[in-house]
Structure 1
Amino acid sequence: MVMTRFYFHIRHGDQVERDLEGIEFPSVQAAEQEALKAAREMVAELVMQGQRLQDKIFEIDDEDGNRVLAVPFLSTVIDWAVLSGTPLRGYLLPEPGSAILAC
């Protein structure tokens, strides 16, 4: 199985925390699942610390430096809220069945 190294950079507004090591995955989809899992864990910590989520994004590059995916941290909360029917104070949520854009 061919593995590709993906780099999970964290953008916060104009600042980027670069992932210099990366992680190998068999596909972009596997990297996306890991990004969602990691973002959910980080969101929980950020919420407990009272920090804002709006400007935090995983920017995922492949080993050639090509951007293959962007996962806003807030999308993990909105996806959960839409699926569970839980309203989020201060956010307009799409109607059930409509798409949520990741970027």
Structure 2
Amino acid sequence: MNTTGFIRGYMSKNMKTEDFIGVVVSALNREFEEIKNGVKLDKINDDFIVAIDEYKLTLSKALIDSLKSPYGVDKYILEEFEKQGFNFDKNRSQYIQYCFGNYVGTQVL
């Protein structure tokens, strides 16, 4: 089993929603560090607003809780930004590949 996925799974099940969305946005910030203003996270009542440049997405606490899985929230955010016109290579990194379930690790024989 992949250790990163295991740790992310543990975090998604055991962290409060507010803390977990912070972990997701932090990962997105590291991934897209070349973006001038980075990935921003704001909270208004029980809603979270995630923004990358001009792309914005509002997520309710209930939606985040329903998406909580190792990379489910990350994938949802990226897919929604993609619908708004945000372009990125789905094979650009191991992290993005994990988000979209297309990572094939090396096998140890």
| Larger RCO, structures 1/2 (Cα 8 Å, 6+ apart) | 1
Q: TM-score, normalised by structure 2?
A: 0.33
Q: TM-score, normalised by structure 1?
A: 0.34
Between Structure 1 and Structure 2, the one with more helix by share is 2
